Amino acid sequence: MKVKFIGGIRYLIGIKEIEVEFGSLDGIFESISKKLGKKINYTLEKETNKSFLILNENGKEMKFSVVIHNNGENILKKEKLENGELSIIMPVGGG
């Protein structure tokens, strides 16, 4: 499946998009990590329903709030992932 990085996350990761094998969300992030040579994980904090990307680089862990859309729908609104496109979006929040 195609994985797109949208917003500031693309500069932290260093690419705009990548192709990986479709699978579970954990499997997809494992594939992304392998291809990029840096550890990237996704975590959903259940009590707040907030989602984060954890990036491990050179022994340093960084955490960013993200939203993930699968084929145009927020994954928090979906029953299960579908093959196609995964957009990892790092929105901005100030006004």
Partner 1 sequence: MLDISRHIDLYKKLSDKLNNSHIFVAGAGGLGSVVLQNLVRLGFKNIIIYDHKEIDPPDLNRQILYDSKDIGKKKTLVARKKLLKINPLCNIKVFEEKITKNTKFNGKIDLIFDCVDNIETRFILDEFAHRLNIPLIHGAVQEYRGQITVIYPGKTKSLRELFLGYSSPKNPQVLPPTVFITGSLLVSEALKILNKDFENSLINKILFFDIFYNDFEVIKLK
Q: Which residues bind partner 1 (CB under 8 A)?
A: 6-8, 11, 44, 48-52, 65-69, 71-74, 76-77, 87, 89, 91-95
Nearer to partner 1, 34 or 78 (CB): 78
Q: How far is CA 45 from the centre of its chain?
A: 14
Q: How far is the CB of 45 from partner 1 (least distance, A)?
A: 8
Q: How far is CA 26 from the centre of its chain?
A: 10
Dist CA 15 CA 89 (whole Å): 13
Nearer to partner 1, 37 or 93 (CB): 93
Locate 10 and state its tokens. Answer: 């693309």
